[in-house]
Structure 1
Amino acid sequence: MNLRRNLKTVVVSLLAIVTLSACGTGPSSEPPARPKSVQVRNNYQSEQLNLNVKSAIAIDSKTGQLLYGKNINQVLPIASMTKLVTTYLTLQAIKEQKLSWDTEVKPTKQIVKVANNKQFSNVPLKMGHSYTIRQLYQATLIESANGAAMLLAQAVSGSQVVFVRQMRQQLKKWGINDAQIYTVCGLPNKSVGTDAYPGADKDAENEMSAKDMAIVGQHLLNDFPEIIETTRIAHLNFTDQGSQTLMTNFNWMLKGLSQYQQDLKVDGLKTGTTDAAGACFIGTAKDSDARLITVVVGARHANSLDPARFEQTGRLLRYVYRNYQPIVFNQNEVIMGTSKISVHNGANKQVDIGMKQRRVIWGPKNGQKLTVNLTKDTIEAPVTKNQTVGSYSFKSGSTKLISIQEPDGIKLPAKALQSTKQVNFLLRFWHRLFGG
């Protein structure tokens, strides 16, 4: 009887193992999860730098590592920084071949009215004239032309209202759920006339947090890095049937403009100004090894010549460079202390691992040792070369380094640098019964 009972136990165990193995090998039918809105602490190192703005943030453009934050979750008017969402959707439409750079479009009567309002930044579009998507894109980013941004939206979606809905959907795809978007250009709802968003208050303005504006910048720079080729242009002529309008970039930190500082290397992205928003600026600067994104919202705006937003951006960039050191981790780099991972049921008990992608971590210059750890110490066989096998986490002393997507600790993927097969069924069964 004992022999029969033991044999029955072995058979049941075998069946259980086979069933579990079968369940684990099929493809998942779950749809990919939409990014969730991540709540990051509202202030980060803000006591180290007293910026004269309502909110501000500095991050690494690739990893989202948070380097400074003041009121970063506070939702505030963003004015023409809105146009970065408009240009993203335009670039996406071109990528999907719904438009081309040479596609020609004509403005509506309402767009012409906005484009010729001298109270707004613009190039003077005319009824019956045709303009290429390239012209409108350049005018939107360089001159912050409101009429040009509206005509881009018209070209992509057929109407301002439909485009605003697309903007809202795109932001939600990025996990941005608290944005308020009413116009495609950043003007108050009342300022776009018959293109105002229906059902919204006439004084309604586009609003986002500094953190979420930084996320928009991340997606633009990572999905369409070519945008820098336009945002770095200080001056350009807008040609309209023989007449020319000189466009001057509102980002005065560019080379050749009044707030240029050679050591800061700012080459984009977008300013924004309304009475409610004050002076705003999302900027980006190229370090030799990395690219930073900064956002300042609600800086002083005494008059049209006030450089406050650029002065505050300069202070923020200098704070980052003074307090952090960019540390490059190259693709496939083996990190001392985390060079291998154990493999359960593997022909090899361990495999070598390294960094999956080239990334930069900004190590604080605070005298604390930067340490790198693996988030798991064992994986299941089989393992294929280049397979993601876990993540690296980072600490400065006892303090975790964080990102705007990972407030509990920034993580970078580790990959297998070699492969190993799974041991045979009998050995796996033996390991299950007796360990190993």
Structure 2
Amino acid sequence: MKKVKLKQNLSIAIISFMAVSSFGATVQGESKTKINADAAILVNADTGKIVDKYNEDQLLGIASMTKMMTEYLVLEAIDKGRIKWSDTYSVSDKVYQLANAPGLSNVPLHADEAYTVKELYEAMVIKSGNGAAIALAEVVAGSEGEFVKRMNAKANELGMEHYQFVNSSGLSNYDMLGMHPEGTDANGENMVSAEDMATLAYHLIKDYPEVLKTSGTNYKYFRKGTDEEYLMKNTNAMLEDPAHSYKGADGLKTGTTPFAGSTFTGTAERDGVRYISVILDAKDQYGQPSSAERFIQTRKLLNYGFNQFESAQFTLDDAVKKKTVPVKDGNEFEVEMALDKSIEARMRKEDIDDAKLKLNLDKSKLNEKGELLAPIEKGEKIGELILVSKEKEEYILDHLKQETKVEVYAAASVEKANWFVRSARNIGEFFVSLF
């Protein structure tokens, strides 16, 4: 791939230019938080709404964040009963060589041992074990080549648009000792845009929230009490690392290769509010790649979401002065409106007091004078209360975009008045109209 070779061969030659040009462009980009990275995004994990972004659609290297897709397919296979946590795997020659290759992130796997799917999964998620990821690909699909096909198919199914998966681990294919997956380029790289990494994280958390229990584990012993006992320390420094720990952090995945730089898909939850952040190729203050900066830049993104935004609630009192609607031909002249629940929205603090609400009554239930027509049942839907956004809202997936609204109901029943009362009223209205 030309992109791979270009970045490898020219990275040293252009580092000074990056410090002046690329870094400057990042600071001057769309991001409200001035993130120092090639690309970044912050997303509300509940709604999929984009809170902040920079260069979010560019296809870039993701390194071991690739394992998030492997995690999804493993958890899906478990969920659908195709494999079980207790299933055992005998190490293939390919996995043995790559799981014990110097310089690669791994939990060593022995050729003469069998490992459970659970053990391999934890080694992949917590320690970012490359051999474990490839082993799981073989468990799920029979071969890593077939698994890669499923990875790309699942990306399409999840609504991702800018992606290229070439292996299950996130290694550069040229680092796989000539054993890269069949059907992929020997110099292939796993590449996904920041927005699509957020999309994958959104689905992973929504569909399989149990992933957070493992990704949020700071350390765990692999095969504790055996000759293979190995302390797995999580690569996510935002969990409990003294320099980078962050309240509420519990995932998701780091990544580092010469091609991708230092990357991180993070997530944190506070008071029932969860954000997803993605940093691709983090840079330090001089515009140079930095492992620590992926956590520093993630903190900036998450702080923006948690500190600058607030969960606001709105009721009918915030929208109208009079909470009743006139009724035509009823035994009452009006009916009070009610809500089952208030409108809830995550908004910038400075925008809450100026929030605009719109009451839309159901036109099919109104006459030309804007009156409801009796009879009306208590609890009958008569309209909607809508929160009107002051600016264009963007979401990681188009189908997630929807109006923030709640239904408006009749608070009481209004029976239709009898014929005599209706006739008297009509006569009275006639004479009023004459004079």
Task: Classify the TM-score, shorter chain.
Answer: 0.7 to 0.9
The answer to whether the Cα contact below 8 Å between 1:270 and 1:282 also exists between their aligned partners in 2 is yes
Q: Deviations over 1:202-225 (max 9, x none)?
A: 221011110000011111111111
Matches within 5 A, 1:346-357: 354=340
Q: Structure 1 residues 390, 373: CA separation in 2 closer, same or farther (over 3 Å shift)? A: same
Match of 2:139 in 1: 155
Quote how far apart the aligned CAs of 1:60 are.
Answer: 0.5
Matches within 5 A, 1:20-419: 46=30, 48-193=32-177, 195-239=179-223, 241-261=226-246, 264-300=247-283, 306-327=291-312, 337=319, 354=340, 360-366=345-351, 369-373=354-358, 377-378=362-363, 392-395=386-389, 398-406=390-398, 410-412=402-404, 414=406
Q: Structure 1 residues 221, 199: CA separation in 2 closer, same or farther (over 3 Å shift)? A: closer
Distance of 1:335 and 1:231 partners within structure 2: 43
What one-letter code is carried by the residue in structure 1 that aligns with 2:141?
S
Distance of 1:103 and 1:194 partners within structure 2: 29
What one-letter code is carried by the residue in structure 1 that aligns with 2:133?
A
Distance of 1:319 and 1:143 partners within structure 2: 29
Quote how far apart the aligned CAs of 1:101 are.
Answer: 1.2
Q: Structure 1 residues 84, 325: CA separation in 2 closer, same or farther (over 3 Å shift)? A: same
What one-letter code is carried by the residue in structure 2 that aligns with 1:282?
T
The answer to whether the Cα contact below 8 Å between 1:44 and 1:69 also exists between their aligned partners in 2 is no
Quote how far apart the aligned CAs of 1:195 are.
Answer: 4.4
What one-letter code is carried by the residue in structure 2 that aligns with 1:118?
P
The answer to whether the Cα contact below 8 Å between 1:44 and 1:68 also exists between their aligned partners in 2 is no
Name the stretch that deviates more: 154-163 or 320-329. Answer: 320-329
Distance of 1:44 and 1:380 partners within structure 2: 52
Structure 1 gap segments, 5+ residues each: 1-41, 343-347, 420-436
Q: Deviations over 1:370-426 (max 9, x none)?
A: 234478955799x99899x9894541xx3244322349965346457689xxxxxxx
Quote how far apart the aligned CAs of 1:68 are.
Answer: 0.6
Three-state SS of the structure 2 residue aligned to 1:271 is strand
Quote how far apart the aligned CAs of 1:350 are.
Answer: 11
Distance of 1:221 and 1:94 partners within structure 2: 15
Q: Structure 1 residues 340, 112: CA separation in 2 closer, same or farther (over 3 Å shift)? A: farther
Quote how far apart the aligned CAs of 1:255 are.
Answer: 2.0
Q: Structure 1 residues 334, 87: CA separation in 2 closer, same or farther (over 3 Å shift)? A: farther
What is the percentage of aligned positions where both structures have the same residue? Answer: 29
Q: Structure 1 residues 372, 315: CA separation in 2 closer, same or farther (over 3 Å shift)? A: same
Match of 1:430 in 2: none
The answer to whether the Cα contact below 8 Å between 1:45 and 1:68 also exists between their aligned partners in 2 is no
Structure label with greater radius of gyration: 2
Q: Structure 1 residues 311, 123: CA separation in 2 closer, same or farther (over 3 Å shift)? A: same
Quote how far apart the aligned CAs of 1:118 are.
Answer: 2.2
Quote how far apart the aligned CAs of 1:323 are.
Answer: 2.3
Three-state SS of the structure 2 residue aligned to 1:121 is coil
Match of 1:29 in 2: none
The answer to whether the Cα contact below 8 Å between 1:323 and 1:364 also exists between their aligned partners in 2 is yes
The answer to whether the Cα contact below 8 Å between 1:340 and 1:353 also exists between their aligned partners in 2 is no
Quote how far apart the aligned CAs of 1:150 are.
Answer: 0.8
Match of 1:30 in 2: none
The answer to whether the Cα contact below 8 Å between 2:309 and 2:346 also exists between their aligned partners in 1 is no
Q: Calculate the aligned-residue CA RMSD, in Å.
A: 4.1
Distance of 1:367 and 1:327 partners within structure 2: 7
What one-letter code is carried by the residue in structure 2 that aligns with 1:185?
S
What one-letter code is carried by the residue in structure 2 that aligns with 1:169?
A
Distance of 1:310 and 1:100 partners within structure 2: 34
Quote how far apart the aligned CAs of 1:145 are.
Answer: 0.4
The answer to whether the Cα contact below 8 Å between 2:31 and 2:52 also exists between their aligned partners in 1 is no
What one-letter code is carried by the residue in structure 2 that aligns with 1:362?
M
What one-letter code is carried by the residue in structure 2 that aligns with 1:225?
P
Distance of 2:56 and 2:218 partners within structure 1: 29
Q: Structure 1 residues 59, 304: CA separation in 2 closer, same or farther (over 3 Å shift)? A: closer
The answer to whether the Cα contact below 8 Å between 2:165 and 2:191 also exists between their aligned partners in 1 is yes
Structure 2 gap segments, 5+ residues each: 1-25, 327-333, 367-376, 412-435
Quote how far apart the aligned CAs of 1:102 are.
Answer: 1.1
| TM-score computed with the length of structure 1 as normaliser | 0.73
| TM-score computed with the length of structure 2 as normaliser | 0.73
The answer to whether the Cα contact below 8 Å between 1:402 and 1:408 also exists between their aligned partners in 2 is no
Quote how far apart the aligned CAs of 1:192 are.
Answer: 2.9
What one-letter code is carried by the residue in structure 1 that aligns with 2:267?
T
The answer to whether the Cα contact below 8 Å between 1:153 and 1:159 also exists between their aligned partners in 2 is yes
